Amino acid sequence: MTTDPIAADLAALFPAREAIPAEHRPQAAAYERLYLLDGRVRAWEGPLAEVPAAFSVREGDALVRPVVGRVPAMDEAAVLAALESCRRAWDEGRGDWPTRSVAERIAAVEKFTARMREAREEVVRLLMWEIGKTLEDSRKEFDRTVEYIGRTVEALKAMDRDYSRFAVDGGVVAQVRRAPLGVVLSMGPFNYPLNETYTTLLPALIMGNVVLVKPPRLGSLIHQPLLQAFAESFPPGVVNFIYGSGPEITPPLMQSGAVDVLAFIGSSKAATTLKKQHPRPHRLRGVLGLDAKNPALVMADADLDVAVRECVSGALSYNGQRCTALKILFVHESVAGPFLEKFSAAVAALPLGMPWEPGARITPLPGHGKAEAMAAYVRDAVERGARVVNPGGGQAAASLFRPAVLYPVAPGMKVYDVEQFGPVVPVCPYKDEEEFLAYVTASSSGQQVSLFGRDAEKIAGLIDLLANQVCRINLNAQCQRGPDTLPFAGRKDSAEGTLSISAALRSFSIRSLVAGKDDPEGRGLLQQIVAGRLSRYLRADYLG
Ligand code: G3H
């Protein structure tokens, strides 16, 4: 272990293996070989990949990273077999699932959700171990996801009621409904591996698509306790789960041309690579959540207590590892002193600890080399004239990194432009709001901003300009995705498509309408089909 007394202090926060409470230990060994193919949970006979814990344990004088479990390290042949299974289930749109009635699909999703609830505690344990999310936030992620699925069902019923009507115009009588798109490749991120996978996976399924899920390496075990629920709720091939190294197994999937929708949350660089591999890019729909560098503007008249509270939570919830995190703060030079004083004190008060420890707010960073990457951002900024303003900021031991508040940050420093995705908070003094507008305009991201101030006229002027730069302007509040009824979108390199409970249903479907002549014969034919309940698609009944 380290001889540096400060780092030793941090290192002491890691527990001895036997000190981890039994109720917070996952049973990962029970399902480490499992994958889902063709309606059956199977044991993979090939090589396995280890999933390291986000934290270390103390063994004598050493800090050792435990292995949470293992997942299949699949090869090209295995993932192509899974794709083939999806294609069979889709069957050019003639499969059992894509032609089922909406009511039948809803019943399957509800069956899955009931089974999913039973796995709550194990999924929560895995979230803590794999990605280091606190117990409270892991539970929130699980519950929010279950609630999202329930509200998706309600939104689909409402949509179904709207689509039961017939439109009459220009001599045409038509019913407009939404039909599925085909095979979806779903790739969620490590930071919300459950929520950001299932909030596209379940809407895609309920609309009649078939889905091939490739979880992120960190955040893959959390799906394992749910595989049996998928197997029992959906017909064979409608959902398959594959695991392996993205750069190895995704090119053959995309190059096959059989993926109709790419649902991907990650970097814009990776999304570009994936899209370029598709032989017919115009046939590929993207539902993408990508880079973001959301800035906050703290104006001279801002309520500093509100700004500090929101910026601390906005920049450092889940250690700053949220796409919506505030990743740079612009503070008017006249209030920079008092702001930094309050902000540093609030950051210093955030307790560091293991994810299951009550009150822990800053937890170990998942993956290897993340704390080192954060330290490199701090070094770069300090070499270029910034200083760490909070006591102990930037100290690290293994994967635990004490948040660093950097000031004054300026162009030329990496943290000015790069999305740090971690507990480093760059603070930039400014004189004129034009500097902030210029930053937002030049940025390659366009997700959200936060404005802190009280001058309605000034804020109104900023809103009018920022509305054409980003997709959400938060007033005296941090950036965030929720509530899930609101559209979540981004411009530039930040996103493609819009997500919300109802927008996701539209993102994974296409309008397909039935139109006849508005004359006695045309109406008669439509009436015959509807009254005789001859079609599952063209119908006038609706779901209550
Ligand atoms: O990582 C990006 C998430 O969609 C952020 O969601 O704002 O609810 O944390 P959140």
**pLDDT of res. 242:** 98
Residue 480, class by beta-carbon neighbours within 10 Å (0-12 exposed, 13-18 middle, 19+ buried)? buried
Helix axes 304-316, 336-348, angle to 10 degrees: 50
**pLDDT of res. 1:** 45
Q: Which helix (H) or strand (E) holds 420?
A: none
**pLDDT of res. 101:** 94
**Rounded to whole angstroms, how far apart are CA atoms 176 and 113?**
29
pTM above 0.85, yes or no: yes
Instruction: Specify the residue with its C-alpha closest to ligand 1, atom 6.
Output: 481
What single string gives the DSSP state of each residue in 298-363?
E-TTS-HHHHHHHHHHHHHGGGG-STTSEEEEEEETTTHHHHHHHHHHHHHTSPB--TTSTT--B-
Asked whether 37 and 89 are in contact (CB, 8 A), the reply is no
**Rounded to whole angstroms, how far apart are CA atoms 401 and 542?**
54
Ligand 1 centroid from CA 418, angstroms: 18
Centroid of chain to Cα 376 = 26
**pLDDT of res. 13:** 96
**Rounded to whole angstroms, how far apart are CA atoms 307 and 158?**
39
Determine if ligand 1 sits within 6 Å of the CB of residue 499: no
Instruction: Specify the residue with its C-alpha closest to ligand 1, atom 8.
Output: 481
Determine if ligand 1 sits within 6 Å of the CB of residue 200: no
Asked whether 289 and 499 are in contact (CB, 8 A), the reply is yes
**pLDDT of res. 6:** 61
**Rounded to whole angstroms, how far apart are CA atoms 244 and 228?**
20
**pLDDT of res. 32:** 85
Centroid of chain to Cα 306 = 27
**pLDDT of res. 28:** 79
**pLDDT of res. 2:** 46
Residues 6 or more apart whose CB falls under 8 angstroms from that of 230 comprise 36, 112, 239, 241
Determine if ligand 1 sits within 6 Å of the CB of residue 93: no
Determine if ligand 1 sits within 6 Å of the CB of residue 323: yes
Residues 6 or more apart whose CB falls under 8 angstroms from that of 253 comprise 79, 80, 83, 185, 212, 259
Q: Residue 543 is encoded by which pair of tokens?
A: 């779901």
Residue 228, class by beta-carbon neighbours within 10 Å (0-12 exposed, 13-18 middle, 19+ buried)? middle
**Rounded to whole angstroms, how far apart are CA atoms 182 and 177?**
16
**pLDDT of res. 366:** 98
Determine if ligand 1 sits within 6 Å of the CB of residue 138: no
- Fill in the amino acid letter for 501: I
Q: Which residues of the chain have a pLDDT value below 70?
A: 1-6
Helix axes 195-206, 102-118, angle to 10 degrees: 150
Nearest to 447 by CA among 498, 509, 396: 498
Q: Which helix (H) or strand (E) holds 426?
A: strand 424-430
Ligand 1 centroid from CA 452, angstroms: 20
Q: Residue 101 is encoded by which pair of tokens?
A: 């009635």
Ligand 1 centroid from CA 208, angstroms: 26
Q: Which of 199, 324, 501 to mutate to test the pocket of ligand 1 (most atoms within 8 A of CB)?
A: 324
Ligand 1 centroid from CA 291, angstroms: 12
**pLDDT of res. 4:** 64
Centroid of chain to Cα 312 = 21
Instruction: Specify the residue with its C-alpha closest to ligand 1, atom 2.
Output: 323
> Kindly report the CA angle at 308 between 304 and 313, in degrees rounded to 5?
155
**Rounded to whole angstroms, how far apart are CA atoms 453 and 231?**
52
3-state secondary structure of 47: coil
123-158: per-residue pLDDT in tens?
999 999 999 999 999 999 999 999 999 999 999 999
Ligand 1 atom showing the smallest separation from residue 479 Cα: 7
